[in-house]
Amino acid sequence: MKRGLVIGKFMPIHKGHIALINFAATHCDELIVSMSFTPEDKIDPVLRFKWIREIFKDQPGIKPAIITDDFDDENLPLNERTNIWAIKMREVYPKIDILFSSEFYGAPFALNLQAEHILFDEPRKSTPVSATLIRNHPFKYWKFIPAEVRPYFVKRICFYGPESTGKSTMAEKMALHYHTVFVPEVARELITNNDITVDDIIKIGKAQTARVKEKTEAANKIVFCDTDLITTKIYSQYYLNEVPNILNHLEKEIRYDLYFLLDIDVEWVADHLRDFGDRRLEMFNLFKSELEKRNIDYILISGNYEEREEKIKKMINSMLV
C-alpha cells in the first residue's frame, strides 16, 4: 500500500489546499492530511480540523490528523528544520511513501523523510491564493474559500434601535442589494400581542439566536440582522420586569461586527405590537445606553430613508474591500 502525506496549518483550508489534497489522493492508496497547530493560532484549531473532516468526509482514503506544532523552529536552516519535522512524522504516523506539497520546503522535507516528493502547482497558477491573503482580505478572495469555511468570515450587521425606525425594511433592502440573506425580528412570528410570559421571552431569545446562526451559514459575505438579544432583554425588562438569565448566555453566543443605531427622526408608524409612540426619545436613549454600557461601537443612522440607505451602503462597501 502506498501512503501519502500532506502537511499544513490550513488556517483556513482553501481551494488551493483542496486541489492539492485531491491530487495527492489520486496518487496513493491512503493520504494522511496532517494539520498542525499552536495555542497562539489565529483560527481555533478545533474549528479548522472540523472543516477538513467535513470537506473530505465522503473520501475514506483521505485521513485527516491533527498534531501540536511544538517541534518547529523557524530560526533553523531549512534542512535542519525539515529534519525535525521528519523525525516527528515518523513518531506519529506510519511509514510515508510520498510527500505532496506546493511549497519550497517540499524537496528537503521529503529527503529527510526518506519519501518520494511530488510537487503540485508550486507557482500557484491554478489557485493564486494563500491562507494569509484570505485571513487579511476574505471578501477579495471569497471564491477560493470553501462553503464549509465561509460562515467563519461572514460579517454580521445589526440594525438596532427602538420601534418604528425602519430596521425591518432596511435589513430586507440591504440583503436584496448585496445578494445575501437577512434575519427578521423573530418575535413577530411567535407572538400576536404584548401580553407575554417568561416562557415566551425565552422562546423568542432562543429562536432569534438560532435564526442568526442559520442565516450566517447561508449568507453571501454579510448577514443583516433586524434586532439582537440586547433588544430582547430591554423588552423583557419592560414587559416582565425581569430578564431570564438564559438571555445573558444567549447574548454572548452571537457577536456582531457592526451596529447601526437607527435614530427616531422618521415618522412613527403604529402597529399591533408597538407601544412606545409617546416615549420614543426615552427608548432611544435606553437602547443607546445599553450599547455604551457594553463598550460596543455603533454608527448612528439618521435622516430620511434615502439618506439612511446611502450612509449604510457606504459603510458596507468599505467592509467589502
At the topology level, CATH places domain 155-319 in: Rossmann fold (3.40.50)
Least confident span in 7-21, 64-78, 211-225: 64-78
Q: What is the pLDDT of residue 224?
A: 98
Q: What is the pLDDT of residue 275?
A: 65
pTM, 2 dp: 0.92
Model confidence band, residue 127 (pLDDT cutoffs 50, 70, 90): confident
Nearest to 163 by CA among 61, 275, 245: 275
For residue 145, how many other CB atoms are within 10 A of its CB? Answer: 21
pLDDT above 80: residue 54: yes
Prior bond of 45 cis (ω within 30°): no
Q: What distances in angstroms separate CA 8 from CA 18, 57, 76, 231, one per listed residue?
A: 12, 18, 18, 43
Over range 300-309, report the average pLDDT: 96
Model confidence band, residue 288 (pLDDT cutoffs 50, 70, 90): very high
At the topology level, CATH places domain 3-144 in: Rossmann fold (3.40.50)
- The reply to whether 155-319 shares the fold of 3-144 is yes
Half-sphere exposure of 52 toward its Cβ, with a 13 Å CA cutoff?
Answer: 27
Residue 160, φ and ψ in degrees, nearest 5: -130, 145
Over range 273-284, report the average pLDDT: 78
Domain boundaries, the chain: 3-144, 155-319
Over range 5-32, report the average pLDDT: 97
Q: What is the pLDDT of residue 122?
A: 76
